[in-house]
Amino acid sequence: MNNQPIVVEKTYDAPVAQVWTAITDKDEMKEWYFDLEDFNATPGFTFSFTGGPSPGKQYLHLCEVIEAIPQKKLSYSWRYDGYPGNSLVSFELTSQGNKTLLRLTHEGLESFPADEKDFTKSNFEEGWDSIINKSLAEYLE
Separation between Cα atoms, residue 34 and residue 43, nearest integer Å: 20
Separation between Cα atoms, residue 74 and residue 23, nearest integer Å: 8
Statement: residue 3 has pLDDT above 90: no
- Dihedral of CA 24/123/49/35: which sign? positive
Confidence of residue 55 (pLDDT cuts 50, 70, 90): confident
Q: What is the DSSP string of 94-105?
A: EEETTEEEEEEE
Domains and CATH numbers, the chain: 6-140 (3.30.530.20)
| DSSP 8-state class, residue 112 | S
What pTM did the predictor assign? 0.95
Confidence of residue 1 (pLDDT cuts 50, 70, 90): very low
CA 141 to chain centroid, in Å, comes to 19
